Amino acid sequence: MKWFFALNESSPSWVEDVKLTKVAVYTALQNTSLEPFCVYDGSENALTDWLRSQGVKVIHHRTCHYDKLAALGDRHLQIGAGSFLSVEVPKVAEKIGLEEPLLLTDIAVMFMKNVVEYLQEVKFDYLAVARDSENQINSQLLLLQ
């Protein structure tokens, strides 16, 4: 199963995001059969080098809402650009020719055991998301079919 996560280099929490990403990737590779993909908005750097050295496929993508977010100011751009990357994963997956179900998570995850068999059995007709305490969409875990 393909596992997607999204990163935005201009995130105000970039230093922490790098650490979280490494834990998520490491635990996925050690404890699951997931195939990792990173949808990434940013420049090539030590993290993208590390991701590739771990077998992660890095897909450069910038949200189609980038210019509108930039016009609203830095704070909207820094947070919104990354959030929209996750929302656009189905479009990115289609663009690279993936049609199978995939797992999309936030980077703040640790994989303790292989989840693939369980997730392959999950079937649904609808996709739902929830608002978090700051009234923002929480897209930390989505199974897309």
| 7-61 tens-digit pLDDT | 999 888 999 999 999 999 999 999 999 999 999 999 999 999 999 999 999 999 9
pLDDT over 60 (residue 80): yes
Residue 16 phi/psi, 5-degree rounding, is -70, -40
Give the confidence band of 145 by pLDDT, cuts at 50, 70, 90. very low
* CA nearest neighbour of 37 among 109, 92, 112, 119: 92
As given in the structure block, the two tokens for residue 11 are 């995130």
Q: Which residues pair with 7 in a beta bridge?
A: 40
19: number of Cβ within 10 Å: 11
pTM for the model stands at: 0.84
From the list 124, 126, 109, the residue with the least C-alpha distance to 21 is: 109
Token reading at 140: 């930390």
Q: What is the CATH number of domain 2-144?
A: 3.90.550.10
Tell me if 41 sits within 8 A of 7, measured CB to CB.
yes
Task: Show me where the domains of the chain are located.
Answer: 2-144
Beta strands in the chain (DSSP E): 2-8, 35-41, 57-60, 102-105, 130-131, 137-138, 141-144
Distance CA 77, CA 94 (A): 25
**Which segment, 62-71, 77-86, 104-113, is predicted with the most confidence on average?**
104-113
Answer whether residue 143 shows pLDDT above 80. no
What value does the mean pLDDT of the chain take?
Answer: 86
Which pLDDT tens digit goes with each residue over 82-122?
A: 888 888 988 999 999 998 888 889 899 999 999 888 888 87
130-131 and 137-138 as β-strands: parallel, antiparallel, unpaired?
antiparallel
